[in-house]
Amino acid sequence: MEFLNNLPLTAEQWRITLLLLITVVLFIWDRWRYDVVALTALFAGVMLGVVPAGDAFSGFASPVVVTVAAVLILSGAIGRSGASENVMTFMMRFDGRPALQLFVLCAACMVISGFMNNVGALALFLPIALAVARASNRSPSDLLMPLAFASLLGGLVTLIGTPPNLLISDIRAKYADGPYQMFDFAPVGLVICAIGLAYLAVCWRLLPKDRRGKPLAENQFAIEDYIAELRITETSSIIGSTLKAVEDAVSGSFNIIGLIRRDTREAAPSARRVVREGDLLIVRGDPQTIKSMVEKTKSELLGNKDEIDIPLTSEGVGVVEAVVRAGSSLIGRTPRQLRMRERFGVNLLALRQTSSHRSPRRLSEVTFHEGDIIVLQGEVDAMPERLEAMGCLPLAQRNLQLGQRGSRYVPAIIMAIAVLLVIFGVLPVSIAFLGGVLVLALTRVTRLDDLYNSIDGPVIILLGALMPVTAAMETTGMADVLATQIATLSEGMSGMLLLTTVLVATMVVTPFLNNAATVLLMGPIAAGLAIKSGYSVDPFLMAVAIGASCDFLTPVGHQSNTLVMGPGGYKFTDYWRVGLPLTIIVIVAGVPALMWAWPLMP
């Protein structure tokens, strides 16, 4: 605060400064979802008089918001099209050569991520990576974290690869001769991708052996923390046995973590408790062990209801494992609240929670979180549509046909045409991709419901609400004041060191804020700093874009990192163990590449 006290600020500048500081604190606190925080900041900005009421909703009319929504829709259509099925066959050519196999997988993900949302690119390759791991007898942890990092790096190459690039392009239009073009990001992005790719091919060796040494069992994933419920029937062979005897008789990862008897519930029940008919045991274990336990003891595996009215496996009925994606309608709610059987036509058989949200409660009372792994039972033919409605991503294509063969390549072709229209200057990027969405809708290649479901609503709200608030930094002159003060404090610092500072500062801020919010906050400050220091704005804006897209240190800083945490069986510390060297690589390779592609002097 001493730094702020020495600044000659007007009352209006003080108000926008305090508003932004409070907003950042709320983002870091993470008690409210980031779209709610952004809307609150917008409302407060209007009430404080720093955001004109007439401009409050100008962010939602921005071409950037339209472009982000359109790219999400096209990315979702490509992901559902089934166009990636042939990749699996190609990948198996490299069986027996783990480094080369991972190199090719990550390279393919990088290429796709350059032209579709990076979370969508990861969603496209996640089932492929798991299938490759199963076929190659490798642990999924070897593949999934490098794949997630590859999706982030791939977004650095093009204008549409990630929302931060679109936002920094919009900011650049205010400080230089218009926005960036489609491949203006490529010179620096390709350098970082090339060096990063070499690291990703071998980085799995940095994981602890207990994550690397668990190859996939046949038809099962090596995930040992599912929660399931078993009812003790009258024919069960363990009636009269103690809970300790039951656990000792089961080989594999298996624990009884709860007991429900009539209206009495016990968490961590005594090992001396005797099993009775009608008891309901809450157990934690790997899927194969739970299945073996049910068959051996003649117990009954329950779902999210006390009774399942269809058999676990029958003609047309199957079981699928899926991961809860960001924005899923399941997040923050319990199976009981959702009435999953009635609403989605599926039974929840088991659940693996992310490490920070584990709970010993009944399956029907456990709250879903992003990254949780769920085991669902239902009609195989309808499962893709139901997973889409729930906002979940299948972890294996077990008899699921995720796309219509007659139209599997149409969404990719539409995306390619939209990109070409932008490259050759025929249409602005927002209009070109909006046209692609209209073609999808008019040709009925993708259902209209699927188009709307592809839009990440919280991200759109965040962008539209926060853009007028951060724009107030410029209209009130606060961005110029901060840039002047930082330039004064950094006087005598070399251009390379100043550029490195901006890149590192953005990387530090990004894990605590949404990457789009980081760009909106840091972009104007970096541009003002460049101008005050006599440098070109381009290398500094590009540094912000790179820093906001490269969060490799935590599982919560980016949706791609969260998405692989459950399927990969990772712990929080695994991310910085593998991600810290990659972060250093980005800094060491990125700064010289920025100065080469975008000279510091205007």
The three-state DSSP-derived secondary structure of 406-431 is: HHCCHHHHHHHHHHHHHHCCCCCHHH
pLDDT at 287: 65
* Residue 354 in tokens: 């992310």
The predicted model gives 119-129 an average pLDDT of: 79
* Residue 87 in tokens: 């990749």
DSSP β-bridge partners for residue 283: 228, 256
pLDDT at 484: 80
Q: Please name which of 547, 549, 543 lies closest in space to residue 499, comparing C-alpha atoms.
A: 543
Could you tell me the pLDDT band of residue 401, with boundaries at 50, 70 and 90? Answer: very low
Sequence ranges of the domains in the chain: 66-215+408-457, 226-394
pLDDT > 50? residue 541: yes
More confident of the two residues 98 and 592? 592
Q: What is the dihedral of CA 235, 236, 239, 241, to 10 degrees?
A: 150
More confident of the two residues 255 and 443? 443
Q: What is the dihedral of CA 471, 472, 476, 481, to 10 degrees?
A: -60
pLDDT > 70? residue 494: yes
Could you tell me the pLDDT band of residue 529, with boundaries at 50, 70 and 90? Answer: very high
Could you tell me the pLDDT band of residue 478, with boundaries at 50, 70 and 90? Answer: confident
pLDDT at 592: 96
Cα gap 228→287, rounded to integer Å: 9
Cα gap 516→519, rounded to integer Å: 5
pLDDT at 280: 86
List pLDDT tens digits, range 206-230.
887 666 555 443 333 333 456 778 8
pLDDT > 60? residue 402: no
pLDDT at 583: 95
Question: What sign for the dihedral angle of Cα 130, 394, 329, 374?
Answer: negative
Q: How far lies 422's CA from each of 112, 156, 438, in Å? A: 17, 18, 16
Is residue 141 within 8 A of residue 568, CB to CB? The reply is yes
Neighbours of 487 (CB within 10 A): 19
Could you tell me the pLDDT band of residue 407, with boundaries at 50, 70 and 90? Answer: low
The predicted model gives 94-106 an average pLDDT of: 79
pLDDT at 309: 37
* Residue 296 in tokens: 């051996």
The predicted model gives 312-320 an average pLDDT of: 61
Angle of CA points 77, 155, 325, to nearest 5°: 50
- Strand ranges in 353-414 using DSSP code E only, listed in sequence order: 373-379, 392-394
- H or E, element range at 226: strand 226-231
pLDDT at 310: 35
Q: Per residue in 295-323, is it b (16+ CB within 10 Å) or e — as a string? A: eebebbbbbbbeebeeeeeeeeebbbbbb
Amino acid at 157: V
Q: What is the dihedral of CA 34, 40, 45, 47, to 10 degrees?
A: 180
pLDDT > 90? residue 136: no
Could you tell me the pLDDT band of residue 118, with boundaries at 50, 70 and 90? Answer: confident
pLDDT > 70? residue 244: yes
The distance in angstroms from the start CA to the end CA of the chain is: 34
Domain 226-394 has CATH 3.30.70.1450: yes
Neighbours of 55 (CB within 10 A): 15
Cα gap 314→331, rounded to integer Å: 30
Is residue 586 within 8 A of residue 192, CB to CB? The reply is yes
Please provide residue 457's backbone torsions phi and psi, each rounded to the nearest 5 degrees: -55, -50
Q: Per residue in 532-553, is it b (16+ CB within 10 Å) or e — as a string? A: bbebbbbbbbbbbbbbbbbbbb
pLDDT at 286: 66
* Residue 40 in tokens: 């609150």
3-state secondary structure of 181: coil
Cα gap 105→201, rounded to integer Å: 9
More confident of the two residues 354 and 68? 68
* Residue 473 in tokens: 């930094």
Is residue 32 within 8 A of residue 26, CB to CB? The reply is yes
More confident of the two residues 238 and 456? 238
pLDDT > 50? residue 506: yes
Least confident of 30-34, 39-43, 75-79, 98-102: 75-79
pLDDT at 169: 94
When the pLDDT of each residue in the chain is averaged and rounded to a whole number, the result is: 81
Is residue 469 within 8 A of residue 59, CB to CB? The reply is no
For strands 373-379 and 347-352, give the pairing: antiparallel
pLDDT > 60? residue 314: no
Token pair 């404090």 is found at 489
Beta-carbon contacts of 388 under 8 Å, excluding residues fewer than 6 positions away, are 80, 450, 453
Cα gap 290→7, rounded to integer Å: 64
3-state secondary structure of 516: helix
Could you tell me the pLDDT band of residue 86, with boundaries at 50, 70 and 90? Answer: low
pTM exceeds cut of 0.75: no
Q: Percent of the chain having pLDDT more than 70? A: 85
- Listed as own residue / partner, the contacts of 48-52 with beta carbons closer than 8 Å and 24 or more positions apart are 48/15, 48/16, 48/19, 49/12, 49/15, 50/12, 50/15, 50/16, 50/19, 50/469, 50/472, 50/475, 50/476, 51/468, 51/469, 51/471, 51/472
Token pair 């920025």 is found at 594
